[in-house]
Structure 1
Amino acid sequence: MIAPLEQVWNAIDPERLQRTLMEMIDIYSPSGKEEDIQLYLEEHLAATGIPVLRQEVEEERYNLISIMGKGEPSLYLVGHVDTVAAWDIDEYAAVEEWGVVRGLGAADMKGGCAAMVEAWLALATLPEVERPSLGLLLVVGEEENGDGSARFLQETVPEWVVIGEPTSMLPAFSHYGYMEVALTTQGRRTHSSLPELGHNAIESMLRVLLLLERLPLFDQEKGQLVYSIREMSSARAGFVVPDRCEAWIDLHLSPLLDPAVVRREVEKVIEKARSSIKGLALEVGFEFEAGGYQMDLKNSMVEILEDAYPRLNLPLNFVPFRSHSDGNLFFQAGSQPLILGPGSLETAHTAEEQTSLAEVEAAARVYTALALGHAGAGRKV
């Protein structure tokens, strides 16, 4: 026997949820330095009496795993507790105004994590025999290389995962792929007043980037690929012509675009650059790549959402997730990921990062509906 959905929704505490979110944002937890927030969450979850296990990723870095119900769960709620580094170490903390919470990680993804924790606390109020079989996984390292999720997947590959990345509460059963390309040009340093005697590495890099931009595959109006020059830096010492320039490029691939196809096209442009740009000395590294995916919308999770969303007056529109996330890792390992959480990518990683308390509360309710619905109950009350 599993309790009706409305009973669990009544156990969700909006004030506790807001407090959890604000306290989580106030704990600075950039990738690699997640221990403080994991200690906070561990204590928070331990109050339910359900065991919380540490899964070591490396020294002083660990995932948190908790399981309720009987047997190994086929559904996990998954959130990453790390953030990017603060844009201003004095201004990253939480500020709430008119139901909107601003602060580092508010959208990506402490809002989603707080909603999952609140959903967990609400479900934990049920007698043991009425709890769904469900796992909660709070991972480290997503903003860097996904080492927390990769560690978890070494031991466990659930059938389903719900990942609370910011989607403005629009479910994403399809996901963009991602590639990271590093370019380095070498030049010859001379005094800045005599550029004709040297070779400017920045000028070489700009010519390479212009060739890449003209690649038909990179036409952003066609929507196959999102191309972004993330970083560019050069040797800055002295009043000289720079002899080195580095650029990092992010490529977000539409769900069915194969990274191998993109890599081959980029390699063709690089060969063209080497033959057409005078004196070019160029190194290229394909530092990371992960394919996207597109799942069939005829599945049990969609049915649960079709029941829950009208009750919450939420629009049910299915969208692809345009950024990289641990969803790529889970899909490649054999899980079926649903990306769904409060907040939006538009403000994530910026000084204006924010999410609304209404969306965070709605997320907690949707997560409980998915947990109960997946367990075979809670669809009709």
Structure 2
Amino acid sequence: MSASSLPSFFSMYQQLIALPSISATDPKWDQSNKKVIDLLAQWLETLGFACEINELESQRGKYNLLARRGSGNGGLLLSGHTDTVPYDANRWNYDPFKLTEQDGRWYGLGSIDMKGFFAFVLQVLSELNSAVQTRPIMILATADEETTMNGAREVSRFANLKPDYCVIGEPTEMRPVYAHKGHMSEVIRITGRSGHSSDPGLGINAIELMHEVISALLKLKEDFKHKYSNSSFTVPQPTMNFGHIHGGDNANRICGCCELHLDIRPLPGLSVDELYVQLHKATESIQKRYPGSVELISLHHPIPGFQQATDSALVQLAEKIAQNEAQAVNYCTEAPFLQELGCETLVMGPGSIKQAHQPDEYLSIESIKPTQEKLKSLLKSYCFEE
């Protein structure tokens, strides 16, 4: 089989969008990504890639794919995730699983975040002469980036995966991203003792104790501004957001339990362990007064920040190809886990992050040709004879 056996670019895009592969913490939404993985493997084998598929040890029914072409060490790894976020059908004007062309746009769930990236890579590879490939090319497709990032956490299970360079195709409008913040989602649960509201001494009010915790966290949040700073980011300090709080069940009952859900975005280089120490300090006085009353629960494993040196060969090449200076962003990707492979790493892909996780997600048609040319330049620079 040859590159001519591949479907058209539009058809590949269409077929990827048509396969639901939602990842979610809610089991009612969560789905396997196996059909997407199998389809990508089929197309990549057509282009002469050897494919290996691993079911995740941490999550059965979810899969990673690694495709390799070329011998020797090093080479270029192009990586993306195969899952999408859930969607609200009432807010979509188009079928999320049918690629719809309208007003110069391709609409569909995953059109830019980020199934479409694989169609771009396949199309560009089909236009390059594999006979003059000089270094290994690897394509990685991961599971569950939108929730646990367990796929990226397990890439080391692929034997001898040691690329020189890695590009993650998240939507950046093909502008290179050399740094991003991490992500922690934590629950602080206060367990007091319920009782009749007419006599406060009968119980321990969890809401009142949570008030103390929030006061300590607000001070910690303010300390972030003075203790940590990175001017590369539009928001230069780590952020903390109180996203959800619930406690009690009735006005005339002493609240027995209160939960706060918070989000922390650490800067690159800021130890996640240090942040956990700070969170425990915020509840320390309550723990001493009421042993066992405070729990700190992670909604998912923490994702550290990411940074690649701006003077690295990959960043400098990407800036030249993109004709744009590399940037730091506040959202996070799989980059810190792939960087652990020992490769220079950056994030650069088609589409705008402003469209990610939005109803009527779309790719601008006018961006297709420039994106393909930039990806082709990247591949030619590292893996093909001129």
What SS does the corresponding residue of 1:37 show, helix, strand or coil?
Answer: helix
Alignment equivalent of 1:26, drawn from 18, 41, 63: 18
Structure 2 CA distance for partners of 1:201 and 1:109, relative to 1, 3 Å:
farther
Report the TM-score when normalising by structure 2: 0.77
What SS does the corresponding residue of 2:336 show, helix, strand or coil?
Answer: helix
Report 1:332-371 matches (<5 A): 332-371=340-379
Alpha-carbon separation, structure 2, partners of 1:207 and 1:44? 57
Report the TM-score when normalising by structure 1: 0.78
CA apart distance, 1:127: 4.2
Structure 2 CA distance for partners of 1:365 and 1:298, relative to 1, 3 Å:
same
What SS does the corresponding residue of 1:21 show, helix, strand or coil?
Answer: helix
CA apart distance, 1:283: 1.1
What SS does the corresponding residue of 2:261 show, helix, strand or coil?
Answer: strand
**Root-mean-square deviation over aligned CA pairs:** 3.7
Alpha-carbon separation, structure 1, partners of 2:198 and 2:181? 46
What SS does the corresponding residue of 1:262 show, helix, strand or coil?
Answer: helix
Opposite residue 363 of structure 2, the aligned amino acid is: T
Report 1:266-285 matches (<5 A): 266-271=279-284, 281-285=293-297
CA apart distance, 1:257: 2.7
Check the 8 A contact 1:182/1:249 in 2, yes or no: yes
Structure 2 CA distance for partners of 1:22 and 1:228, relative to 1, 3 Å:
farther
Alignment equivalent of 1:305, drawn from 296, 318, 322: 318
Structure 2 CA distance for partners of 1:200 and 1:165, relative to 1, 3 Å:
farther
Alignment equivalent of 1:247, drawn from 260, 264, 273: 260
Alpha-carbon separation, structure 2, partners of 1:213 and 1:65? 44
Opposite residue 165 of structure 1, the aligned amino acid is: E
In structure 1, stretches of 5+ residues that fail to align are: 1-7, 310-314
Structure 2 CA distance for partners of 1:256 and 1:49, relative to 1, 3 Å:
closer
**1:331 matched to 2:339:** yes
In structure 2, stretches of 5+ residues that fail to align are: 24-30
What SS does the corresponding residue of 1:67 show, helix, strand or coil?
Answer: strand
Alignment equivalent of 1:258, drawn from 253, 257, 271: 271
Count of residues paired in the alignment: 358
Check the 8 A contact 1:112/1:363 in 2, yes or no: no
What SS does the corresponding residue of 1:136 show, helix, strand or coil?
Answer: strand
Alpha-carbon separation, structure 2, partners of 1:184 and 1:261? 20
What SS does the corresponding residue of 1:53 show, helix, strand or coil?
Answer: strand
Alignment equivalent of 2:185, drawn from 165, 180, 190: 180
CA apart distance, 1:329: 0.7
Alpha-carbon separation, structure 2, partners of 1:195 and 1:245? 20
For each residue in 1:157-194, what CA deviation from the matched residue of structure 2 results, as whole angstroms up to 9, or x when unmatched? 32211111122322012232333322112244467x86
The equivalent residue for 2:39 is: 40
Structure 2 CA distance for partners of 1:352 and 1:207, relative to 1, 3 Å:
farther
